[in-house]
Structure 1
Amino acid sequence: MKFDTGAEDLPVDASMSTGNQNTGATHVAREDCLHLADPEWEALRRLSTVNGEAAVATMLRTLSPTEQPGVALGFIMKEQRETAARATVSTPSTPRVESLKLHVNSYVGREGEPLLRWLVEVDTAITARRIVDPLSKVAFAMSCLGGRGRSWAYGRRLTDPTCFSTYEVFKEELRQAFEPPQNEFRSRAEFLDLQQGKHDVHAYAQRARYLVSNIV
């Protein structure tokens, strides 16, 4: 079926506007269907490659001008459904990544309790749990506090609900409240000078681990 845009292949057929059948025709020119919009005409041209040129020409000559746009619209919708179905099949589903709920020991604020090591534990748990919201990070960290640390944090929040605007602010204020002045510097210096001496291997190793936790 040749869908022409000129008039040289077929004169205007009055039967197109009256709905009369002309089963001998095998092609239709654009000027025979001026009542169709360009998208509708293009859809019929694509339909002819599926159903055959003669079948589409016969169908058009059988239908009235008011019924012909419905054929084009139906084919357009069919194309859209097929395109959507192909996209659904071809697009691989993204595997769901499960978050890990790591346990974090409570920080109670006792003297000599390694705050920096606790912060590393909290940071690791936040990453594993896929917590990205700053205030949610603060809330999770506060839930891991106990004793003096918990009293301090919730006391600050009670007097000023906006005190911990970000997780970084929370960590900095916690360090200022519980970390001894120059604690990291002193721990680094003691670690560099650390010797086993009269201590057994276990005590020596425990002290070394404690000093390292205050440095990193």
Structure 2
Amino acid sequence: MNMLDDEYDQSFHATRDGYSHLSDVEWDAVERMGSTMGIHAVSVMLEALNRDAQHATIAKFIQNELDAKREKVALLHQQGSQQAELLREQGAQQFELLRQQQAAAGGSMHSRRPETLKIDISKARRIDDGDMQAAFAQSNLAGRAKTWALGLKLHDPYAFGSLEVFKSRLRQTFEPPRAEFRARTELLKLKQGKRDVHAYAQHIRHLTSCISSNPVDEHTLVSVFMQGLADGPVKTHLFRLELDSLKQAISIAEQEDFSLRQARAGLADSPTAIRGSALVVGASASKFTWEGSRNGLSKTT
């Protein structure tokens, strides 16, 4: 920009008093028009219009800006939906491949439940772009959360620059107050109870993710996880090891639980177990025949 343009720019801004009938919002729109169309063109256009026409022109410009932002948000939402559909298809293919491998190995679908559930978790991790991660997460919202996210995107298309920003703003808006205090209290009192190891591990993972401002250290998390486990082979095995992180403790516990389930399933199908069941059934039948003879219900000797 040369000196003549600088002088014209200053003179144009000095004419703000000449457009006192325009609101601050309208004048901001006029300045944005100057950055896109050129200051001279905007000045000539406004001078050629009366006040009503100026208001109408500026309103149309603002409406065009809003329409452009809506189109961009809709495009991001469509891209997120397409990415989500693609990931669902890939997850279904992996699930089918896993089912075929288990069928070929003679296992059951329930014997690898932790691994099959991890497919849904790993799908979202394949997205590398921050905007696409946020768009994918937004496409899975519903109700008030979806309305809230769309409203922010209409006001600021770059409101969610990354998945971490999206999660942080979502947590600040919809988490009840003192959620971390309740999550910390529930974490310290957590017990496995009648749940399986995987469900217990998922619960402790959720509570850990809710504590972000002052997270619990890893050794305390390991102690809480091990103390809350139900008494049995899994807990006994963990207490024999030196564990450094919650992730390591959960991984070993799930592997041990999976091995125990496989061993029990194999034992139930073994010939020894079948013969034992036949002996129990035969003994029960003999007892019924003997009791019936004593009560006159059977003539068998």
TM-score (norm 1): 0.35
- Please say which structure displays the higher CA radius of gyration: 1
Which is helix-richer, 1 or 2? 2
TM-score (norm 2): 0.26
Greater length-normalized contact order (CA 8 Å, ≥ 6 residues apart): 1
